[in-house]
Structure 1
Amino acid sequence: MALINTPIKPFTAQAFHNGEYVEVSEKDVLGKWAIFFFYPADFTFVCPTELGDLADQYDELQQLGVEVYSVSTDTHHVHAAWHKESETVGKIKYFMLGDPSGVITNNFENMREGQGLADRATFLVDPDGIIQVMEVTCEGVGRNAAELVRKVKAAQYVRNHPGEVCPAKWEEGADTLKPSIDLVGKI
């Protein structure tokens, strides 16, 4: 799974978004930052906690120019039903992509072999459609949306400041590094 610095592949999907069914393709992603937030299945246990946590960060992500696309191999109809039935999932304002054919999940090399389910994974895509950040966790380990926001800010900083990099635990406004021979062995 060596997808960093590779472009996303073409897809078309039906999504549940703001009480409606809409079509989304890779063309809708280009020109802005995007998060693809894969999870195994609707009506499960860890997944709604993660999706709700991400919903809590959605306004800040929007302020950063980021659109969010949650993806599972369930249909957009199942997403709508879950959104209606779950208080936690009901607060979601971002796109919930249905991927019953597995095209998107396979495009991101994120399909559990023989199961038809996506792994728990996050991909941050830049405005050029290039994957800049990815994270995959095991079934029982939920992700932290606040940490994802931090990674978005770091990726945006690096894109906007060529020649600079963000060290571990970098937070917005903190010092960055300028890799050079002068830094070798001094960190």
Structure 2
Amino acid sequence: MSLINTTIKPFKATAYHDGKFVDITEATLKGKWSVFVFYPADFTFVCPTELEDLADNYAEFKKLGVEIYGVSTDTHFAHKAWHDTSEAIKKVQYPLVGDPTATLARNFEVLIEEEGLALRGTFVINPEGQIKVLEIHDNGIGRDASELLRKVKAAQYVASHPGEVCPAKWEEGAATLKPSLDLVGKI
């Protein structure tokens, strides 16, 4: 069964954010769009490039009312140490969530049990706590924040325009489709 359109499970975790340790729960996400970006581990190779790319695009996500959460099975203490020592991670202004019990990684079905690490999983969550976009792939393949931004805009558009859908490569301001019997076989 897919996690698409399911409501996220209850959780409690600690994040490193703005120089402090803060608690994050499913209630924290309610009422706004959120993106969970799971990655394997702090102090690795592809992970800092992805988190830095998100940091470079963070202002655009914030303009859309979206909070990003970087999540790994490391502790919030490790996130702070990484933030203090990595030039790429120093740019991160969004919460870095510690998941040492792997509760979140299990809830979102990205845990590699035998390694205790998460796959690269990306989840766009609507203000009601439902997963609207998910992408999970091999840990050797880095993600692109601009593509994630496009997907968030599409998810927000569809949510605010019932009866419309976004075609492939849709960009903000481009034409959408209104599925109907008249369109069958015409696209």
Partner of 1:96 in structure 2?
Answer: 96
Q: Distance in 2 between matches of 1:136 and 1:24?
A: 22
Question: Which digits, 9 at most, give the CA deviation of each residue in 1:24-83, with x for residues without a partner?
Answer: 111000100000000000000000000000001111101100001110000000000000
Offset, 1:169: 0.2
Percent identical pairs in the alignment equals 62
Trace 1:90-169 onto structure 2 (pairs within 5 A).
Answer: 90-169=90-169
Question: Which digits, 9 at most, give the CA deviation of each residue in 1:112-140, with x for residues without a partner?
Answer: 12111010010000000000000112111
SS in 1 for 2:147: helix
- What TM-score comes out, normalization by structure 1 length? 0.99
Read off the aligned partner of 1:171 and give its amino acid letter: E
Partner of 2:173 in structure 1?
Answer: 173
Question: Which digits, 9 at most, give the CA deviation of each residue in 1:85-143, with x for residues without a partner?
Answer: 00001100000000000111111011012111010010000000000000112111100
- Structure 1 runs (4+) deviating above 3 angstroms are none
Q: Distance in 2 between matches of 1:23 and 1:152?
A: 25
Q: Distance in 2 between matches of 1:183 and 1:128?
A: 31
Q: Distance in 2 between matches of 1:95 and 1:88?
A: 15
Q: Distance in 1 between matches of 2:126 and 2:98?
A: 22
Q: Distance in 2 between matches of 1:147 and 1:182?
A: 31
Partner of 2:63 in structure 1?
Answer: 63
- 1:19 equivalent in alignment to 2:19: yes
Partner of 1:84 in structure 2?
Answer: 84
Partner of 2:9 in structure 1?
Answer: 9
Read off the aligned partner of 1:34 and give its amino acid letter: S
SS in 2 for 1:174: coil
Q: Distance in 1 between matches of 2:157 and 2:170?
A: 11
Considering only aligned residues, what root-mean-square deviation do their CA atoms show, in Å? 0.6
- What TM-score comes out, normalization by structure 2 length? 0.99
Read off the aligned partner of 1:138 and give its amino acid letter: D
Please, which runs of 5 or more residues in structure 2 have no aligned partner?
A: none
Q: Distance in 2 between matches of 1:26 and 1:77?
A: 21
